[in-house]
Amino acid sequence: MTDHIDYIEFPTSNRAATTAFFQAAFGWGSLAFGSDYAALQDAGIEGGVDQSPERSAATMAIVRTDDLDAAEARVRAAGGTITRDPFDFPGGRRFHFREPGGNEMAVWVVRPE
């Protein structure tokens, strides 16, 4: 399946405190990827906690696709505004955009082997 929401990111000013809260409140685990990012575990959807300076200001839904360039073209054609150009991260490549109603989202693709 392609072009579906499969990841959610929570921005934070304190990754350790946010992941500790999620653990205590909901039993979710986390796996740190450096000091600024942690993947959530057992949350019911794949997700992460982002403390990086480039993080979104609000919780962000992330759409997985099979063709990042085609998805970016569709986002632009539909009236979306690219807020962060495509970039690589461990495991894939993604871009951020704002839809006409103001929500910031991202689209990602698994990095080819």
| pLDDT tens per residue across span 6-21 | 999 999 999 999 999 9
pLDDT of residue 113: 59
pLDDT of residue 112 exceeding 80, the answer is no
At residue 4, the 3 state secondary structure works out as strand
Range of the domain at 57: 4-110
pLDDT of residue 90: 86
pLDDT of residue 111: 82
CATH number reported for the structural domain that contains residue 44 in this entry: 3.10.180.10
pLDDT of residue 2: 83
Total number of domains in the chain = 1
pLDDT in tens, 44-70: 999 999 999 989 889 999 999 999 999
